[in-house]
Amino acid sequence: MKKPLTRTAIGFTAALGVAVLVAGCSSGSTAAPSGDYEAAASDLTAKITYGVWDQTQVDAIDANIAEFNKEYPNIDVNVNVTPWDSYWPKLQTQASSNTLPDLFWMNGPNFQTYGAADKLEPITGEVKADAIDPANYPAALNDLYTIDGVQYGVPKDYDTIGLWYNSDIFEKAGVALPTDDWTWDDFDAAASAISTALAGDGIYGAAGGMDGQTTYYNTIFQAGGEVISDDGKTSGFDSAATEKGLQFWTDLIDSGASPSIQQLSDTPAIQWFTSGKLGMLWSGSWSRTAVADSEFADVINVAALPHDEEQATVIHGVSNVVAASGKNKQAAQALQVFLASKEAQQQQGDMGAVIPAFTGTQQAFVDSAPNVNLQVFVDATEYARPYPVSANTAEWNAFENELLPDAFSGTVTVEEAAKSLAEKMNTVLAK
Amino acid sequence: MTTGSTRIRSVPAKAPRLRRGGAAARRDGFWPWLFVLPLLGGIGLFYLWPIIQTAYFSFTEWGVFGGNTWSGLDNYVRLFADPQLYSALGNTLLYTAIVLLGIPIAVYLASLLNTPGLRFASFYRVLFFLPYVAMPTAVAMVWRIIFNGDFGILNYVLSLVGIDGPYWTSTPGFAMLAVAIVGLWSSLGFSMIILAAGLKNIPPELYEAAELDGATPWRRFTSVTVPLLTPSIFFVLIITTISSFQLFDLLYALLGSSNPVLPKSMSLVYFFYSQGFVSNDKGYAAAIAMVIFLIIGVVTLLQFRFQKRWVNND
């Protein structure tokens, strides 16, 4: 009796192991994107998940969904909030096992990874059926969510970059306030004048570049250069115009108009600015909240970025995408279409969540701080350039973080850093 | 010395019983297995199986969303030619070396805490242990403020004695030192608790005898405390080395992911993280994980090899 029992035990354990093996391999059910769309009937019954990362927008989203449910009372939407830091690792795992939320937020740097791997449903069908019209959103944002002429995401909101300034500091230093038609030279002169005049108070005129979106991507575009070619296949860092855009920041730091790179990594530029130690800050429309919360809120205003060869700013925005593997695609698309509508985006803007992407719904954002010229960020869409991305953005972003700080601090020349950055970037782009 | 001799006798006495236990297992058939199955299953599923999988994946190339193809030794060939590996290894060794300096300090502090008649002993013990139970992220937040080059308290104190402090967390070299100082400080509490338990096992008669022989406190410390504490010191050494080799969260939180010195101050595990979860190169990351696994294994094995020379095991 005993021996067979032992054998049973071994058999059982082995079976368990096999079961685990099988379970590990059974996640391969692939669902290819079809690009089909058929408007859902108003009595469609479904349960769908909407994946987002920003808790502060949930009230506005809930309001949107309440409106949506007037049209589709039987579609039950579960809003799933995952904090930013774990949103992407989680999404990656979900995409690997084809368990993505039915509808979810996508950003520029990650979009192509998901789009190229057929994880997202194109909006082609919805556009054909006139349910969504891309012309209602800034062109640069549509471009951001398009691969090979196929658009996957519907812009939900956007942010652009402006020149925030502390008028108190300008007054104390006796420097004229920034205007919307400033050139690089005007900016440099003002920054140096402030740093010189107020050195005793530890106040600087402006802060150098640490992060592309708010600083050197803008100057690269303004100088007529590019970060990456339009087809996303080659690096733009080895062009003379791009180097000029980087040199701008090296010179700013070198002239003493900006704190050093070390000072800026210890204390980020936004903190210098909101503590009244910085005259000007290149930053996005999102800084509105940080500025409003600071004790200098009354003296802070914003102007358009200074220009060089051309006027330019980086635009980025979140979009809503439908998972290709979703079981309730029709319901998910119904919600995607609803959230793309003027009414839904107007509601988002009125509740102060973000700058909505739908043209003509931005007034609520502009009015949210009457003393600050927030119109700058809306007008910027006319000359805005899409946030530079490719199929594997994160990989070359890591090279930027590795190589550019040495160029900004003057340890190596901009040319040298840009050349080796372009070389490294091209190897990962060729993959 | 009677207590000592009973302890020695009890060791061989255990061995035959163990052997009889083996025979019992054979006789009892599958029942014992049934009882350990939940634990065995858990360990197998969540520890052993992932290790086997990682070993397998280190020979494959991954797509971003899974789907791997066999690539043989490619990952390892690439890894051993990658300068990042050696710089990460160097940084990790430097960190480990500095943190290990905390062990002598912990031995000394633990023996001070063990002074008979010390008032508020448990209060001090809690004080030293607190950093160990605090979240590394929270600890790092506070230390970041302390280390701040322009406005930090550390540089302020240094300036009082005429030293112009560096930008601790944003200067290559100093950044690793800053991380190691915090690592040393936060591991002190754990080491001290283990060592304090070891100290309690040293029979007080030995100290009395030493005192009668006219030994100074220092001599009692070096000739009685330290030799009899070596098993505990050995345990602390192993645990500290392993956890130092796994340095990640402290570095990540203290330096911040966009810090320009980070690429020059990577630890092995950070290197693994950046390849696996930032660059999405999971096969390559698996190879790094296997190398870390082997390094820790070899170092631990060597420590066990050499312990016979200095650890007092009776």
What's the complex ipTM?
0.76
Cα B220–B222–B225 angle (5° rounding)? Answer: 70
> Helices B282-310 and B83-100, interaxial angle, to 10°?
40
Pairing of the two strands A154-155 and A319-323: antiparallel
Q: What pLDDT is attached to residue A2? A: 38
CATH class of the domain at A46-159+316-360 = alpha beta
Q: How far is B215 from chain A (nearest CA, A)?
A: 52
First to last CA, chain A: 61
DSSP reduced 3-state for B29: coil
Give the sign of the dihedral formed by CA B53, CA B58, CA B61, CA B63: positive
Residue A25 reports pLDDT greater than 70: no
Cα B80–B85–B87 angle (5° rounding)? Answer: 135
- β partners of residue A302: A164
Q: What range defines the domain where residue B234 resides?
A: 76-310
Helices H / strands E in chain A, number of each: 19, 16
Of A5, A95, A266, the CB nearest to B170: A266
Please report, for the domain that includes residue B253, its CATH number: 1.10.3720.10
The CATH code of domain A161-314+386-429 reads: 3.40.190.10
Q: What pLDDT is attached to residue B47? A: 93
Q: How far is B48 from chain A (nearest CA, A)?
A: 12
DSSP reduced 3-state for A328: coil
Within this chain, domains A46-159+316-360 and A161-314+386-429 share the same CATH topology: yes
Q: What pLDDT is attached to residue A415? A: 96
Confidence of residue B303 (pLDDT cuts 50, 70, 90): very high
Please state the domain count of chain B.
1
Q: Element (H or E) spanning A203, and its range? A: none
* Chain A contact for B265 (CB, 8 A cutoff): no
Torsions phi, psi for B125 (to 5 deg)? -60, -45
* Chain B contact for A119 (CB, 8 A cutoff): yes
Instruction: Residue A117: list chain B partners with CB under 8 A.
Output: 63-65
Determine how many CB atoms are found less than 10 A away from the CB of residue A14: 10
Residue B255 near residue B261, CB atoms below 8 Å: yes
Instruction: Residue B171: list chain A partners with CB under 8 A.
Output: 262
Q: What is the DSSP letter of A207?
A: -
**Which residue in A has a C-alpha nearest to residue B262's C-alpha?**
A402
Is B306 contained in some domain? Answer: yes
Q: What pLDDT is attached to residue A85? A: 79
Note the pLDDT tens digit of each residue in B83-105.
Answer: 999 999 999 999 999 999 999 99
For chain A, the domains span 46-159+316-360, 161-314+386-429
Q: What is the DSSP letter of B48?
A: I
pTM of the model: 0.82
Residue A158 near residue A295, CB atoms below 8 Å: no
Residue A371 near residue A301, CB atoms below 8 Å: yes
Q: In chain B, what are the helix, strand and coil shares in percent, each to the nearest 5?
A: 75, 0, 20
DSSP reduced 3-state for A155: strand
Do B261 and A267 count as a contact with CB atoms less than 8 A apart? Answer: no
Q: Which of A316, A323, A354, A191 lies closest to A259, judged by CA? A: A191
Output Rg (C-alpha) for chain B, integer angstroms: 24
Instruction: Residue B169: list chain A partners with CB under 8 A.
Output: 265-266
Confidence of residue B11 (pLDDT cuts 50, 70, 90): very low
Q: How far is A220 from chain B (nearest CA, A)?
A: 20
Instruction: Residue A394: list chain B partners with CB under 8 A.
Output: 278-280
Q: Which of A13, A95, A7, A21 lies closest to A51, judged by CA? A: A95
Confidence of residue B6 (pLDDT cuts 50, 70, 90): very low
Contacts of A182 (CB under 8 A, 6+ apart): A163, A303, A304, A306, A307
Do B167 and A16 count as a contact with CB atoms less than 8 A apart? Answer: no
Note the pLDDT tens digit of each residue in B53-78.
Answer: 999 999 999 887 877 889 989 999 99
Note the pLDDT tens digit of each residue in A269-323.
Answer: 999 999 999 999 999 999 988 888 899 999 999 999 999 999 999 999 999 999 9
Residue A336 near residue A322, CB atoms below 8 Å: yes
Q: What pLDDT is attached to residue A299? A: 95
Give the sign of the dihedral formed by CA A184, CA A186, CA A189, CA A192: negative
B164-192 burial code (b ≥16 CB/10 A, e <16): ebbbbbbbeebbbbbbbbbbbbbbbbbbb
